[in-house]
Chains A and B, each alone.
Chain A
Amino acid sequence: MAWTRKILRVDLSSGACKSEPLNMEWAQQYLGQRGLATKYFISEVDPKVDPLSAANKLIMTTGPLTGTPASTGGRYSVVTKGALTGAIACSNSGGYFGAELKFAGWDMIIFEGKSAKPVYLAIENDKAELKDAAHLWGKTVWQTEEIIKKSHQDPQTRVCSIGRAGENGVMYACIVNDLHRAAGRSGVGTVMGSKNLKAVAVRGTQGVSILKDAKAFMSAATAAKKVLADNAVTGQGLPTYGTQVLMNVINEMGALPTRNHRDSQFEDARKISAEAMVEKRPSDGKSHLVTNNACFGCTIACGRISRIDETHFSVVNKPEYWGASGGLEYEAAWALGAANGVGDLEALQYANLICNEDGFDPISFGATVGAAMELYEMGILTEKQIGMAAPFGSAKALCELAQMTARGEGFGKELGLGSARLCEKYGKPELSMGVKKQEFPAYDSRGIQGMGLAYATSNRGACHLRGYTVASEVLGIPVKTDPLVTEGKADLVKAFQDATAVFDSAGVCVFTTFAWTLADLQPQLDAACEGDWTMEKLAVVGERIWNMERQFNNAAGFTAKDDDLPPRLKTEPVKTGPAKGLVSGIDKMLPEYYQARGWDANGVPGKETLKRLGL
Chain B
Amino acid sequence: MQKSLHIDANKCTGCLQCEMACSYENYGVFNIAKSRIKIFSFEHIGRKVPYTCTQCAEAWCMNACPVDAIRVDAGTGAKIVNEAICVGCKVCTIACPFGTVNYVAETGKVQKCDLCGGDPACASACPTGAITYVDADWTGLDKMRAWAGKTDSATRASA
Contacts and interface: CB of A to CB of B under 8 A. Distances in A.
Interface stretch (A200-208, A272-280, A331-339, A490-498): A200-208
B30 A69 contact: yes
Interface in A56-87: 67-69, 71
B159 interface: no
Contact of A298 (B13, B21, B32, B45): B13
Contact of B17 (A67, A229, A299, A305): A299
Interface stretch (A168-176, A287-295, A373-381, A585-593): A287-295
A323 interface: yes
Nearest to B44: A323
Given A324-B44, A324-B46, A301 B30 contact: no
Contact of A297 (B16, B33, B44, B47): B16
B32 A103 contact: yes
A389 B81 CA distance: 69
Contacts of A294: 13-15
Given A69-B20, A297-B20, A299-B127, A207 B13 contact: no
Nearest to A299: B127
Contact of A205 (B13, B31, B44, B47): B31
Contacts of B44: 323-325
A297 B39 CA distance: 12
B3 to A, nearest CB: 22
Given A103-B33, A205-B33, A299-B15, A69 B125 contact: yes
Contact of B46 (A69, A218, A291): A291
B31 A208 contact: yes
Contact of B29 (A96, A208, A291, A293): A208
A68 B125 CA distance: 13
Nearest to A324: B46
A307 interface: yes
A515 B125 CA distance: 20
A559 interface: no
B32 A290 contact: no
B49 to A, nearest CB: 12
B19 to A, nearest CB: 10
Contacts of B71: none
B31 to A, nearest CB: 2
B132 interface: no
Contacts, number: 86
Contacts of B48: 291, 293
B29 A297 contact: no
A209 interface: yes
Interface size class of A (residues with CB under 8 A): 35 or more
Contacts of B47: 291
Contact of B13 (A96, A214, A301, A307): A301
A285 B21 CA distance: 39
Interface string B44-87: 11111000000000000000000000000000000000000000
B30 A208 contact: yes
Contacts of A68: 20, 30
A229 B126 CA distance: 12
A296 B28 CA distance: 19
B30 A293 contact: no
Interface in A208-242: 208-209, 214, 218, 225, 229, 239
B41 to A, nearest CB: 9
Contacts of B17: 69, 297, 299
A463 interface: no
Interface in B111-126: 125
B22 to A, nearest CB: 11
A96 B43 CA distance: 14
B34 interface: yes
A191 to B, nearest CB: 28
Nearest to B125: A69
A290 B20 contact: no
A179 B43 contact: yes
A205 B14 CA distance: 19
B23 interface: yes
A324 B43 contact: yes
The 8 closest A-B pairs by CB, nearest first: A207-B31, A324-B46, A323-B44, A294-B13, A205-B33, A294-B15, A305-B46, A290-B46
6 contacts: A209-B28, A209-B30, A290-B45, A291-B46, A301-B15, A324-B43
Interface of A: 67-69, 71, 96, 99, 103, 156, 179, 204-209, 214, 218, 225, 229, 239, 290-299, 301, 305-307, 323-325
Interface of B: 13-17, 20-21, 23-24, 27-34, 43-48, 125, 127-128
